[in-house]
């Protein structure tokens, strides 16, 4: 049995811009848009903690093999879980499917059909020595000594040229890059300016605040989305294009979260006659979008549901500069 572990919170990045691609004393890494996770090793045991403070190693039995690739008796490694498709490209759909499985047989089957990869980019502890107060350049050296790459774990590649890496990220349709101050300590649980996310694609984590029926009576055809601003939840539009399979999977959860009153400060005009079903703000989804003007989404496309984020973390200023 693994001893009782301290649940740590990962360091988070602030939103930046292309002007931050050439900052002094910064290195740059690909921003993969996976599930953020802290991997704990103790002896022959592995545990995996997501951003919501939930242990999720049961969903990724293949990642228990990480124990063989971490050269330390004990360690805490920061990184992201991703799932690749048949062409070796990152797949949001496959990751979402893995994130929401609960049955043991389903989990075991999908772990073989769609195996996950853990991309490691930082180390907080090795052999009971903590490195959170040490500069990033030192932690990177420790990470190289600690993690050995194979099919299920890769160390994140980094570059001193943010512009070049950003160009490559756009070419590969990655979300962008993260710039990190090479001299900075690990600020556990904080959103710090020492880490800066520069987006190549506009994405937004939104709160699911309601739904509207589609062609099939009683089943969702579109989701109503919201985002927090100044501690209040605001409606920003709807998003559709869901498959019947998706609606079948998520409809029971939507029904369970039903509430009569809108959870948002603003509501769509004449919403009472438009068939809105309002929800307790508990679910989070990730979208791509072209713009956000006066709290109204433009060109929104659904990516995935996110079980690793709290609704309260879906705040405007930390994700996008609204117009």
What's the CA gap between 179 and 163, in Å, rounded? 11
User: Confidence class of residue 179 from pLDDT cuts 50, 70 and 90?
Assistant: very high
Question: What does the pLDDT average to over 103-124?
Answer: 95
What's the CA gap between 78 and 57, in Å, rounded? 14
pLDDT digits (tens, 9 = 90+) for 133-152: 999 999 999 999 999 999 89
Between CA 97 and CA 86, with CA 79 as vertex, the angle to 5 degrees is 40
More confident residue, 120 or 3: 120
Question: What does the pLDDT average to over 46-72?
Answer: 96
What's the CA gap between 112 and 145, in Å, rounded? 29
DSSP per residue, 249-268? HHHHHHHHTB-SS-SSSS--
- Domains with residue ranges and CATH for the chain: 12-199 (3.30.470.30), 203-313 (2.40.50.140)
pLDDT at position 218: 87
User: What is the helix (H) or strand (E) element at residue 45, kind and residue range?
Assistant: strand 45-50
pLDDT at position 122: 98
Distances (CA, A) of 88 to 81, 91, 178: 14, 9, 22
Question: What does the pLDDT average to over 97-112?
Answer: 90
Would you say residue 181 has pLDDT above 50?
A: yes
Question: What does the pLDDT average to over 303-312?
Answer: 91
What's the CA gap between 23 and 279, in Å, rounded? 43
According to DSSP, residue 311 is labeled G
Tokens found for residue 138: 């030192």
**Which of 164, 173, 213, 3 has its CA nearest to residue 85?**
173
Q: Residue 229 class from Cβ within 10 Å (0-12 exposed, 13-18 middle, 19+ buried)?
A: middle
Question: What does the pLDDT average to over 261-272?
Answer: 87
Q: What is the dihedral of CA 225, 50, 152, 74, to 10 degrees?
A: 170
pLDDT digits (tens, 9 = 90+) for 191-214: 999 999 999 888 899 999 999 998
Q: What is the dihedral of CA 145, 151, 153, 158, to 10 degrees?
A: 80
Lowest model confidence (mean pLDDT) among 41-55, 89-103, 117-131, 253-267: 89-103
pLDDT at position 322: 44
pLDDT digits (tens, 9 = 90+) for 84-97: 988 888 898 899 88
């Amino acid at each position: 049995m693994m001893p009782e572990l301290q649940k740590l919170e990962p360091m988070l990045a602030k939103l930046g811009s292309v002007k931050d691609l050439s900052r002094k004393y910064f290195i740059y890494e690909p921003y993969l848009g996976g599930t953020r996770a802290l991997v704990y090793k103790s002896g022959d045991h592995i545990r995996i903690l997501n951003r919501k403070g939930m242990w999720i190693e049961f969903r990724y039995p293949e990642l228990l093999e990480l124990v063989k690739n971490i050269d330390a008796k004990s360690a805490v490694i920061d990184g992201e879980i991703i799932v690749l498709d048949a062409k070796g490209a990152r797949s949001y759909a496959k990751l979402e499917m893995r994130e929401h499985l609960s049955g043991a047989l389903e989990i075991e089957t999908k772990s073989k059909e769609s195996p996950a990869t853990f991309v490691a980019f930082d180390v907080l502890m090795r052999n009971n020595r903590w490195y959170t107060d040490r500069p990033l350049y030192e932690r990177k050296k420790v990470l190289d000594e600690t993690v050995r790459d194979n099919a299920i774990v890769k160390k994140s590649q980094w570059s001193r040229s943010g512009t070049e890496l950003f160009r490559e990220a756009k070419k590969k349709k990655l979300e962008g890059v993260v710039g990190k101050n090479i001299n900075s300590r690990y600020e556990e649980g904080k959103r710090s300016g020492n880490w800066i996310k520069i987006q190549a694609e506009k994405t937004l984590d939104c709160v699911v605040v309601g739904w509207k029926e589609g062609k099939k009576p009683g089943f969702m055809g579109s989701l109503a989305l919201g985002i927090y601003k100044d501690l209040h939840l605001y409606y920003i539009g709807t998003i559709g294009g869901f498959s019947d399979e998706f609606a079948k999977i998520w409809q029971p959860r939507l029904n369970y979260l039903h509430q009569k009153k809108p959870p948002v400060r603003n509501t769509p005009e004449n919403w009472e006659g438009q068939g809105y079903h309002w929800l307790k703000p508990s679910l989070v989804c990730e979208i791509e979008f072209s713009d956000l003007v006066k709290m109204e989404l433009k060109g929104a496309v659904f990516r995935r549901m996110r079980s690793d984020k709290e609704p309260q973390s879906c705040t405007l200023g930390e994700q996008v500069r609204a117009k």
